Structure 1
Amino acid sequence: MRSHPSSLSRRSLLGLGAAAVAGTALTACGGAAPGKSGSGSASLRLLTPIFDRADGQKLLTSLLADFKKDNPGVSVQVDYTEYGKLNEKLTTSIVGGQPYDVMLMGVGWIPPFAEKGVLADLEASKDELARLYNPRVVEPGVYDGKIYARPILLDTRMGIYRKDVFAEAGIDAPPKDLTELKEIAKELTVRKNGKLTRAGVDILSNDLRQTYLPVMWAHGADLFDGGKPVLDSDEAVDALQWMVDIIRTDKIEDYGFTQKGAVAAPLVQGRAAMMIGHNDMWRQISESAPELIAEDKVDGFMLNQQRPALFQGGTLATMSAKTSHPEQAKKLVEFLSGEKVSPQAAEQRGNIPAVLSAADSSYVKSNKLVSFAVDNLDHAFSEGGVPTWLEIREEFKPALESALLGKATPAEALKGLAGKAEAIIAKGA
């Protein structure tokens, strides 16, 4: 068991990093559940990066009214934020000795906070949760064999293609693997007088790390092996080389083609035949080009090479190890991750409900990308896995860009990334 640091650094609100939560008199390593309060009444503080828009706030207010009916002595004070500010809010509250009772976090965030004793063990079994969720969905909430978080909604990254563009070229099915994807992309790329007018595949509209990771997993690579970074494995290098070839060798897409700030992605505009993108692309299409949905012109496909891979992110509910109201806080975590809230939370975000019971809902069935993700969760992979992940992930974009811009080979870029990851882990040990 690691001891907590004896002094606090504010250096990394990005990822607790070396900073973590020392000096806040947290529970011992492992975040054992706090002692039970003796009263049914409680005032809970909830921090959420979802429900932040006006429609989401209205929905959460209604849902919490239902929660209060079953827990009449409990009030919930909600602090809405966005993911870009979530870590700062969390860390500031912890450092200040006033952590939120219930905190919603992202996939990959649980090990950093659980390892520092911030989160309470929810004392749930994997078998119990497997009745509610796909096991792949449960795994991001597990650290050191304990359940610290329950899933609410998921967001995925997958292959997306224009069926009409394929049909015009006489191609009747999406690519079966990444080798075929590149060949089809070359065929569907259009340049006029050297200027790119249609990319065969768009790999730049999505966050670079979240584009690379499913390509990496599809190539058979992993992030860590027993807690040790394996970011520069041969398979990982092959995956990054695949992306580099898209940009630099085969000229399938140009840097800057995605038009930063554009309302719609190139795929929606007809300027890309395929993309690696977020399932929320369905909502963007419904708002910007609803005819593509009405005429069944867009669908998802699996990224596959050595194995099929789907990137799985999402939002999970956690409970503070320092809450004064553990019984009520745990009930709120279970409510927010349960069969009533999960489907509605997902629909207002354009995302995937975590609960299995929503798989046949009208919302899931009406959204092809969400439905595709639900059907393929057995092939989902999640980022994270080590306590220093939130710091390590910040090193991905510069490493990937260095290769895509030709400043380093894929092997050099990933060797540098692996070295930085090892240094971060060593510093946090």
Structure 2
Amino acid sequence: MRGLARLLCAVLLAGGLAACSGDGGEGGAATAGPGTLDVWVMRDSAPDDLIERVNAEVEAAHPGLTVRVQVLDWEGRDVKWKTALAGDDPPDVLEMGNTDVLTYAASGALAELKPADYENSGTWLKGLADAGGYEGKLYGVPYYGGTRVVIYRKDLFEKAGIDSEPATLAELRQAAEKLMKANPGEDFSGLYFPGRYQYGALPFVFDAGGQIAAKEGTAWKGMLSTPQSQQGLRNWADLVKAVSKAPLDVDTDADRFVDALGQGHTGMIIGQAWMMRGLGEKYPKLADQLGAFPVPGVNGTMPVFIGGSNLVVSAGSQAPAIATEWVKLITGTKYQTELARSGLLPNSTSLEGVVEGVTAVQMKAAARSWFTPQSTQWSNVDNAQVLQDMFQAIASGEKSVAEAAATADKKIAEILNATG
């Protein structure tokens, strides 16, 4: 329908008539008549009925408008996005994983947005807010998040005589050691922690005041060799060596963690919060025996990597004002409260009073969230498995912390500073 409207406008303009006006830009009046707003969301994100209510509210404000929603699978999303955003009639609103936004913002495919236009922008979860930014500008509005937490078996805690959830790293190690003493099997881990599990291990670096990389002037520099980062790596390595029997040559996946805990090979895992539901479904007898708490750091909750989604408006949207309106609604207090009650982590710490259960645990953890370095080359670091190699080298004893960190820093700098 929008294509036909543009064709009619072209004909009128050719005849000297200035009767066509599109949607206003950011903050402008939306003058479009009947048409469509195309919204692309990802599978298994917000509940369908919630999105339908947002659509109905926007349609009611713009008589004749139809909000058309397309649901995409995470696998293969990049190809569909690139093709659509390069076309003449791209979708107006897209849900993107928070690790996806940077590349598209840098390419010019996304519209710049204004934080002040969005409710609760001052209390957005830091990791999601960082993920939506590029060169000091906002391109992706935080939608919902997810963090890793410690998931444990209450029955095994009771068996080991552990009567409270650990609140510090020292207490976490003590609990894991008690679990191993109470379950002396050769393959039992107090805390199941594979050697290449980068998103479980990196928080130890941030907990000690370190970081992965930093930009100095126009160049990136690896920062894993700093004293703070090395201390965090030692803290991680000491814990893994003492309480984990997990393989050192693998990263992790949901099935591996779920089975380790469900089959009694460990008393604790550091996993994504939604794994609790999968555990209860696969091992029904454990459904009421599962608990969760934030990953403990040296002095309180450990900073964790935050996953999740951001909402973006395409730079080529024919209805930018209405697209922005749709994003404002679903990311504001009203609908974020509904998201929270459905079990998702809302985008703002101001909503901590409406979350419960494992979502409340995530909210506490997310208050100290972090995100990967804001470089368009970061995915190349990830693909090269630089960090996974470093963690395995340390865990296996192949390299010292200092040696492994120096190797990783060199590779990180080479990749992030590469041109072309």
Q: TM-score, normalised by structure 2?
A: 0.77
Matched, 1:267 2:256: no
Matched, 1:254 2:228: no
Q: Provide the rounded CA distance (Å) in 1 between the counterparts of 2:79 and 2:94.
A: 13
Match of 2:308 in 1: 314
Matched, 1:351 2:344: yes
Match of 2:76 in 1: 85
Match of 2:370 in 1: 381
How far the C-alpha of 1:236 sits from its partner, in A, is 2.9
> Residues 268 and 219 (structure 1 numbering): CA distance in 2 closer, same or farther, change over 3 Å?
farther
- State the SS of the aligned residue for 1:138: helix
Match of 1:200 in 2: 190
Q: Which moved more, 1:130-139 or 1:412-421?
A: 130-139
CA contact (8 A) 1:157 1:214 kept: no
How far the C-alpha of 1:217 sits from its partner, in A, is 1.5
- State the SS of the aligned residue for 2:305: strand
- State the SS of the aligned residue for 1:353: coil
- Deviation readout 1:222-278 (Å, 9 max, x if unpaired): 12334543133333334344444455x436223189898469342344332222111
Match of 1:170 in 2: 161
Match of 1:119 in 2: 110
CA contact (8 A) 1:310 1:380 kept: yes
State the aligned residue count: 387
Q: Provide the rounded CA distance (Å) in 2 between the counterparts of 1:385 and 1:404.
A: 28
How far the C-alpha of 1:50 sits from its partner, in A, is 4.0
The AA in structure 2 aligned to 1:112 is T
Higher Cα Rg: structure 1 or 2? 2
> Residues 356 and 246 (structure 1 numbering): CA distance in 2 closer, same or farther, change over 3 Å?
closer
How far the C-alpha of 1:332 sits from its partner, in A, is 1.9
The AA in structure 2 aligned to 1:208 is Y
> Residues 203 and 72 (structure 1 numbering): CA distance in 2 closer, same or farther, change over 3 Å?
farther
Match of 2:323 in 1: 329
How far the C-alpha of 1:118 sits from its partner, in A, is 2.0
> Residues 112 and 83 (structure 1 numbering): CA distance in 2 closer, same or farther, change over 3 Å?
same
Root-mean-square deviation (Å): 3.7
Matched, 1:68 2:59: yes
The AA in structure 2 aligned to 1:337 is T
> Residues 211 and 134 (structure 1 numbering): CA distance in 2 closer, same or farther, change over 3 Å?
closer
CA contact (8 A) 1:177 1:304 kept: yes
- State the SS of the aligned residue for 1:255: coil
- State the SS of the aligned residue for 2:353: coil
Q: Which moved more, 1:282-291 or 1:117-126?
A: 282-291
- State the SS of the aligned residue for 2:367: helix
- Deviation readout 1:390-411 (Å, 9 max, x if unpaired): 3323333344344445554443
How far the C-alpha of 1:318 sits from its partner, in A, is 0.8
Q: Provide the rounded CA distance (Å) in 2 between the counterparts of 1:317 and 1:127.
A: 12
Match of 1:29 in 2: none
Match of 2:19 in 1: none
> Residues 36 and 148 (structure 1 numbering): CA distance in 2 closer, same or farther, change over 3 Å?
farther
Q: Provide the rounded CA distance (Å) in 1 between the counterparts of 2:369 and 2:247.
A: 28
Q: TM-score, normalised by structure 1?
A: 0.76
CA contact (8 A) 1:138 1:151 kept: yes
- State the SS of the aligned residue for 1:222: coil
Q: Provide the rounded CA distance (Å) in 2 between the counterparts of 1:313 and 1:244.
A: 24
How far the C-alpha of 1:200 sits from its partner, in A, is 0.3
Match of 1:24 in 2: none
- Deviation readout 1:188-238 (Å, 9 max, x if unpaired): 226989731x21001239x82221222221122112334543133333334
- State the SS of the aligned residue for 1:264: helix
Q: Provide the rounded CA distance (Å) in 2 between the counterparts of 1:127 and 1:37.
A: 18
The AA in structure 2 aligned to 1:60 is I
Q: Provide the rounded CA distance (Å) in 2 between the counterparts of 1:316 and 1:230.
A: 27
Identity %: 23
Match of 2:229 in 1: 236
CA contact (8 A) 2:30 2:321 kept: yes
How far the C-alpha of 1:148 sits from its partner, in A, is 1.6
How far the C-alpha of 1:354 sits from its partner, in A, is 1.8
Q: Provide the rounded CA distance (Å) in 2 between the counterparts of 1:62 and 1:128.
A: 18
Q: Provide the rounded CA distance (Å) in 2 between the counterparts of 1:262 and 1:111.
A: 30
CA contact (8 A) 2:28 2:321 kept: no
Q: Which of 271, 279, 288 does residue 277 from structure 1 map onto?
A: 271
Q: Provide the rounded CA distance (Å) in 1 between the counterparts of 2:351 and 2:364.
A: 12
Match of 2:209 in 1: 220
> Residues 393 and 336 (structure 1 numbering): CA distance in 2 closer, same or farther, change over 3 Å?
farther
> Residues 73 and 428 (structure 1 numbering): CA distance in 2 closer, same or farther, change over 3 Å?
farther
The AA in structure 2 aligned to 1:221 is G
- Deviation readout 1:151-202 (Å, 9 max, x if unpaired): 1111001233334423332333333433442343233226989731x21001
CA contact (8 A) 1:158 1:311 kept: no
How far the C-alpha of 1:312 sits from its partner, in A, is 1.8
- State the SS of the aligned residue for 1:156: strand
Q: Which moved more, 1:415-424 or 1:251-260?
A: 251-260
How far the C-alpha of 1:94 sits from its partner, in A, is 3.4
The AA in structure 1 aligned to 2:101 is I
- Structure 2 stretches of 5 or more lacking a match? 1-24
CA contact (8 A) 1:154 1:313 kept: yes
